[in-house]
Amino acid sequence: MILVTGGAGFIGANFVLDWLARGGEPVVNLDKLTYAGNPDNLASLQDDARHVFVQGDIGDRPLVAALLERHRPRAIVHFAAESHVDRSIHGPADFIRTNIDGTFSLLEAARGYLGTLDAPGRAAFRFLHVSTDEVYGSLLPGDAPFSESTPHAPNSPYAASKAASDHLVRAWHHTYGLPVLTGNCSNNYGPLQFPEKLIPLMIANALAGKPLPVYGDGRQVRDWLYVGDHCAALRCLLAAGLPGETYNIGGWNEKTNLEVVHTLCALLDELRPTAKSYRDQIAFVTDRPGHDRRYAIDARKIESALGWRPAETFETGLRKTVQWYLDHQDWVQKVQSGEYQQWITRNYAQRAGSST
């Protein structure tokens, strides 16, 4: 048995589905079901006895302690987080509460649980913390990619909250001996991603005939990682990662945001053609405050130590992603609720835009 937090969100749900599809042991899935936590992501597991879903908060110490006592998991895989930079700018309090306070509470619950295990159980137990490359800050065009020894230098409330959680996880290992693993991943994309993030937002807006809002000049660089590859990397960490170590997980796919949008438009022109190219809908809008210019991941450590390397190229992963959204328009329409529309209006309505 493993305990997964945030397993109804984008990466967490992909991990749970992939884990069980590959014959992994049963999963207790704890998710608060905020706006980005979607039970429909797990609909295929409704009658699967290997999946136990619990709606709850990682900050609810009695609930987490009871789940640990009842199910006796051999690992905690911690996805639960507020994760959208723009939302963190508008409302940082939720990010502090979930990403810092929630992680602290979960670490304390895990520490108490570890003390109840016998020696073999303690030796086998792992706390896998899923983090982000954004904790490292921003790179200049000629800078070397982030390595595991790159100092944390977060620039957004979201990144700062995740950096703080990284530090807590590290401290609980060095001070209390909690057998932790940390994975700092680059920008994930793929099925089930909530359409506030770049790729699903662009797909949804393109199909609806709406503007495709690109921040600033669109030349911000990100490394792109297909979510299925990320799940494979996390399985490697659970199987063979060294407790106390951090592993960068990247796709070896540095792309500007504008390149991503152009590639998306070309795929949609091919797969869902209209009278005009979707590129005609691109609109440059006012940049977000403090927008990091470049992220890049050096993922050589996990490859050399554990043998993991992404299976998907950006082109193959993006094609799979676009096709999934085209095939699941009912899912997209359902998650585009009133709250979603209110957020989109709040974040983009005041940004001056011009088509290109």
Grade residue 291 by pLDDT with cuts at 50, 70 and 90.
confident
Mean pLDDT, the chain, integer: 92
Give the pLDDT score at 348. Answer: 47
Name 196's bridge partners. Answer: none
Alpha-helical segments (H) within 115-189 = 119-124, 157-176
CA distance 231 to 251: 12
Tell me how many helices (H) and strands (E) the chain has. Answer: 14, 13
Grade residue 288 by pLDDT with cuts at 50, 70 and 90.
confident
Above 80 in pLDDT, residue 302? yes
Q: Which amino acid, 327? A: D
Q: How far apart are the first and last CA of the chain?
A: 52
Catalytic residue among 134, 166, 229, 292: 134
Asked about 25 being catalytic, the answer comes back as no
Catalytic residue among 82, 86, 113, 158: 158
Give the pLDDT score at 340. Answer: 46
Which range has the worst mean pLDDT, 34-43, 114-123, 215-224, 312-321? Answer: 34-43
CA distance 292 to 221: 9
Asked about 143 being catalytic, the answer comes back as no
Catalytic residue among 57, 86, 133, 196: 133
Give the pLDDT score at 333. Answer: 87
- Quote the percentage of the chain above a pLDDT of 70: 94
What are the residues whose beta carbons fall under 8 Å from the beta carbon of 338, sequence distance 6 or more?
none
Burial of 111 (0-12, 13-18, 19+ CB in 10 A): middle
CA distance 73 to 75: 5
Structure tokens given for 248: 């960068």
Give the pLDDT score at 354. Answer: 45
Give the pLDDT score at 356. Answer: 41
Grade residue 90 by pLDDT with cuts at 50, 70 and 90.
confident
Per-domain residue ranges of the chain? 2-193+225-253+290-312
Domain at 2-193+225-253+290-312: CATH code: 3.40.50.720
CB 148 within 8 A of CB 183: no
Asked about 340 being catalytic, the answer comes back as no
What pairing do the DSSP bridges indicate for beta strands 212-215 and 282-285?
parallel
Burial of 3 (0-12, 13-18, 19+ CB in 10 A): buried
Structure tokens given for 147: 């390595």
| Maximal CA-CA distance, the chain | 67
Give the pLDDT score at 37. Answer: 81
Please state the pTM of the whole predicted model: 0.92
Above 90 in pLDDT, residue 82? no
